[in-house]
Every structure is written in C-alpha cells, then in structure tokens.
Structure 1
Amino acid sequence: MSLRKALIVIILILIVDQISKIYIKMHFELNEDITIFSWFKIAFVENDGMAWGTKLSDFVSFISDESAKLILTLFRIVAVTGIGIWLLDVTRKKKSKTLVFAIALIFAGALGNIIDSVFYGVLFSDSYMQVATFLPEDGGYAGIFHGKVVDMLHFPIWSGVLPEWLPFFGGKYFSFFDPVFNVADIAISTGIGILLIFNKKAFKDTPKTEISDEVSHNNSV
C-alpha cells in the first residue's frame, strides 16, 4: 500500500470525523441525546481526559486538571508524531498492505482527537446549557491545548438485571454498551484490532522486489 493511498485513507477519516464533531458541537447542547434506534443514540458528551474519561489527575493527585490536560495533549502530539514516522517508514520499506492500512487508521484517529484537544477550546464557546457557537466574540471555552474531545456515538444494546444464577454478578443491574465514542475512536480501535487479529499477515517479511530477483538471476547465470 503506497503512502498516497494511506494519505487518502487518513484524509477521508479526518473529514468524516471532524464534520460529525462540528455538526454535533453546533447543533446539540452538552449531554443532549436523541434516540435513532432502541440500540443506538446520538449523545453529545465531551471528554477532556483519556479513554473512558479517565484523567491523569485521577492518578497523580498533586497535578491540577488543567496541567493534566496539557500533559495529555502534548503526549498525544508526541505519540501521533511517532506513529506518523512509523507510517512513513513502513511505506518506504514496502511493508504489507495490512500493516500500512492499520497504522493509517490509528494515525488518522489519533490526529482527529488531537485536533479537538488543541483547537476546539479556542474555536468554540461552551456547550453547557446552550448550543456552541463557532469563533465566539468573547473567545472560546478554553485556551489552546485545553480543548475537549467531542464524542457522540452511543450503543445501549442491552440493559437489565442479570440472572441470579450467574456467579459474582447475578442479580445485579448491567448495561452494555455504556461508552460514548466518535469516528476517530473507531479508527483507532479498528487499526489496533487489525494488528492484533492479523498480526502474522501485518508483520510478515517484505516480499523480494523485482530488482533483487533480477540480481539473484544474474548471479545464478
């Protein structure tokens, strides 16, 4: 898979991700949701932490939420830079299409969420009890690097009380699937899933090029 094709994948994911986030941000109030199907909702939430809303300050008590947010955003930038270098390397070495595609998905998803973290605080007003405005006259809801990631996809597939006969969890209320996520998260999860499930195919040895085949043929002659 060439770098050009990988870039097309990345750009398409970024476009869909950002359009969906901007639409939600400018049409929904925070925590507003609409039911599409019984098992699928559009639910606007904002995440200023890591996965599942976890914050660095939850683990390191002496770090303020603001400092934790800045550290997390800077870490994401460093991480996505490393992923970008990895992508350039595997395309240059003509590694498997599976590996290149997976890395492109992860890169696109990570970059999509970084855009929120870096710029959304400056570009949009707060969404609490109101629909946000783009480039508000009074300034955004936070400074640069302190924006919140917009999530909106919710799949409450099942909820209820588990049967009493189940060990440990019997008789307790359970719901699946609670997390709210976005297109960028789907891209990251899919890319990681491909690397885990198709590990051997993704990291197989690079096939010999026509040039090395020609060299081998000449040596045998």
Structure 2
Amino acid sequence: MSKKGWISISLILLILVFDQIIKIVVKTQPLSWIHTLPFIDYTENNGMAFGIELPGKGGKYFLTIFRLIASIVIAVFLVKMVRKDVKTGIIVGFSLILAGALGNIIDSVFYGVIFGYAPILHGRVVDMFHFNLFHFFWPKWIPFFGGKYFEFFAPIFNVADSSITIGIGYMLIFQRRFFKENKL
C-alpha cells in the first residue's frame, strides 16, 4: 500500500477510535465529573444536523441508509484517488469527511441495539460539545427580538461532526491549490 493509503487509513482509524471512546465515556457516565466540565452538554440526536428529523419510522431508515450509501461512495472515491496518486491534501480532506461520517454511522446503526433502546439502524448519534460562549435575553425595547433568548453558537456536536466540518473547510480553503492540476 502506498504512503498516501496509509495516511488515509491511519487518519480514519485515529478519528474513529477517538470519537467512539469519547462518545461511550460520555454516554455511560451520565452523573460523573465529565458532565461538570465546561463545554460538555450530553445529548442524543435522533436525526441529522441541528436535530432535523425525517418524519415517520421510514425517515430514520432512509437517513441511516443514505448515510451508509454516501459513505460507501466516499470510500470508493477515496480508494480511486489514492490509486491515482492524487495530492495528499485532497486525500486528507476526504479521509476527514469519511471518518466523521463513519463515526456517526456507528451510532445510528449500532447504538440502539448496544444500549438496548432501539432496533438496528435506529440508534441516536451522541453529541456532547457545546461551546455556548455567551447567552442573554434581548432587552424588551428592541424591535422583533425584544425579550427573546439569544445563544451564541447553540449547536451541540461531537468529534465526528468536527471531522466532517474540518474536512470540508480544509477542502474549501485549499481547493485552488488542490484542484489546480488534478482532474478528478
């Protein structure tokens, strides 16, 4: 296997192991010291980003199967890129995205069965990081917003979500450098 293949596999495995260890520790220690740490706010997401859910029982199956198919497509594409000797930066970006997708798929496919609350493909994604840097109620005299609660950076996310976001951001920031010569 090429050096780029080893880089990809190592990065994916490192992120997957780190993601799953953190999720299992946070999930299985609900009343521990972990939850007194700043920026830790344990929750489980039944849907996708920002808690958006597809309706009905079929919605969860569709979402999980879509995640599986998308991950397989990304994995096949990644293998082809490694074989074509595409720039290492592109391989790193796609590896980050795939690692994050696989981390959340493990939750969706297996956590319901492992933790005994749902059948296979019906698990919930464990989220725990909440960087609520500041929050307040708008003064009542401000039009439209008066008296409403405001929270800066409300999303709660996990290592897998971060890996996807960093991979996409990395690809966007360096896309001119990566795609100047390579034609995928």
Q: Do these two structures clear the TM 0.5 threshold for a shared fold by scoring above it?
A: yes
* Structure 1 counterpart of 2:23, from 21, 31, 37: 21
Please name the residue that 1:155 is paired with. 131
- Distance, in Å, in 1 between the alignment partners of 2:58 and 2:99 is 26
- Distance, in Å, in 2 between the alignment partners of 1:94 and 1:51 is 33
The residue identity in structure 2 corresponding to 1:54 is: I
On the 8 A contact 2:128/2:157 being kept in 1, the answer is yes
How far off is 1:202 after superposition? 2.2
Structure 2 gaps of 5+ residues are: none
- Distance, in Å, in 2 between the alignment partners of 1:167 and 1:81 is 49
The alpha-carbon distance between structure 1 residues 27 and 4, as it changes in their structure 2 partners (threshold 3 A), is same
Root-mean-square deviation over aligned CA pairs? 2.2
Q: Deviations over 1:32-72 (max 9, x none)?
A: x83434xx2x1111111011000111xxxxxx1x2110110
Structure 1 gaps of 5+ residues are: 58-63, 125-139, 207-221
The alpha-carbon distance between structure 1 residues 9 and 167, as it changes in their structure 2 partners (threshold 3 A), is farther
Deviates more, 1:6-15 or 1:158-167: 158-167
The answer as to 2:35 corresponding to 1:34 is yes
- Distance, in Å, in 1 between the alignment partners of 2:71 and 2:139 is 44
Q: Deviations over 1:97-146 (max 9, x none)?
A: 1111000000000000000000011101xxxxxxxxxxxxxxx1110111
Please name the residue that 1:107 is paired with. 98
On the 8 A contact 1:107/1:188 being kept in 2, the answer is yes
Please name the residue that 2:86 is paired with. 95
Could you say which structure has the higher helix fraction? 2
How far off is 1:169 after superposition? 4.7
The alpha-carbon distance between structure 1 residues 4 and 160, as it changes in their structure 2 partners (threshold 3 A), is same
The answer as to 2:64 corresponding to 1:73 is yes
Please name the residue that 1:52 is paired with. 50
* Structure 1 counterpart of 2:11, from 9, 12, 17: 9
| Alignment TM-score, normalising by the size of structure 1 | 0.74
How many residue pairs are counted as aligned between the two chains?
179
* Structure 2 counterpart of 1:177, from 153, 170, 181: 153
- Distance, in Å, in 1 between the alignment partners of 2:25 and 2:65 is 26
The alpha-carbon distance between structure 1 residues 167 and 96, as it changes in their structure 2 partners (threshold 3 A), is farther
